[in-house]
């Protein structure tokens, strides 16, 4: 049985740490309401925002994705789909489906931040399997607050949350965060 595939669109990119080292790309399913967070670094966030604003095809390549697009076009190749495949230790991984003439190929387990930029550069869909989306989407807990799965959060963000939990004397949360940090070592 084939799993249902959902198409996603990046709706925003937001800073998620005080120092601005980490950002979250917020993806929303095209035919629904679920929202998927993807942790990305500052430089990737900046480039993704440029691509989202329409800076897709420059006269001169300005990023690796632009260079790839130029090379792919010369070789009669194109990226057809970016599929979110898994989330492990705060990192989201994707498979990239590309076509060379009439033959399809797949590159597996690429960082999602790079793949989101490729999707905008090549103007191809970003997809995810229904089961993974159901497991990873952000759930609203009230008053505009959301809960995200702990495996989609980086160790640095967990450490920052641990520090805040101790400062707030929320020792139950602090112990859970500590255990998750230890589990990832």
Q: What pLDDT sits at residue 61?
A: 57
Task: Compute and round to an integer the Cα radius of gyration of the chain.
Answer: 18
Query: Which fold, 3-141?
Result: Bifunctional nuclease domain (3.10.690)
pLDDT band with cut points at 50, 70 and 90 for residue 81 = very high
In the prediction, which pLDDT does 57 show? 53
**Pairwise CA distance, residues 120 & 132, whole Å:** 22
Where do the domains of the chain lie?
3-141, 153-184
The whole-number pLDDT of residue 131 equals 95
Q: Any idea which of 19-33, 124-138, 142-156 has the lowest mean pLDDT?
A: 142-156
Beta strand ranges found along the chain (DSSP E): 5-15, 22-29, 35-41, 77-88, 91-100, 103-111, 126-129, 139-142, 145-147
The gap from C-alpha 6 to its chain's centroid, in whole angstroms, comes to 15
* Confidence bin at 172 (pLDDT 50/70/90): confident
* Cα 56 to Cα 1: distance, rounded to the nearest angstrom: 37
Q: What is the mean pLDDT of residues 121-145?
A: 89
The DSSP symbol for 168 reads T
């Amino acid at each position: 049985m084939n799993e249902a595939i959902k198409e996603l669109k990046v709706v925003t990119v937001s800073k998620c740490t005080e120092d601005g080292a980490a950002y979250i790309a917020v993806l929303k399913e095209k035919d629904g309401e679920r929202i998927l967070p993807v942790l990305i670094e500052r430089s990737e966030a900046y480039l993704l925002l440029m691509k989202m604003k329409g800076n897709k095809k420059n006269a001169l390549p300005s990023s690796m994705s632009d260079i790839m697009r130029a090379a792919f076009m010369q070789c009669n190749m194109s990226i057809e789909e970016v599929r979110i495949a898994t989330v492990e230790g705060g990192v989201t991984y994707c498979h990239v489906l590309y076509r060379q003439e009439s033959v399809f190929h797949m590159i597996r387990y690429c960082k999602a931040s790079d793949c989101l930029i490729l999707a905008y550069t090549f103007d191809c869909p970003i997809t995810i399997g229904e089961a993974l989306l159901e497991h990873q989407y952000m759930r609203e807990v009230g008053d505009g607050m959301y809960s995200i799965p702990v495996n989609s959060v980086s160790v640095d963000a967990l450490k920052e949350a641990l520090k805040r939990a101790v400062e707030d004397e929320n020792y139950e949360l602090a112990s859970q965060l500590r255990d998750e940090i230890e589990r990832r070592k």
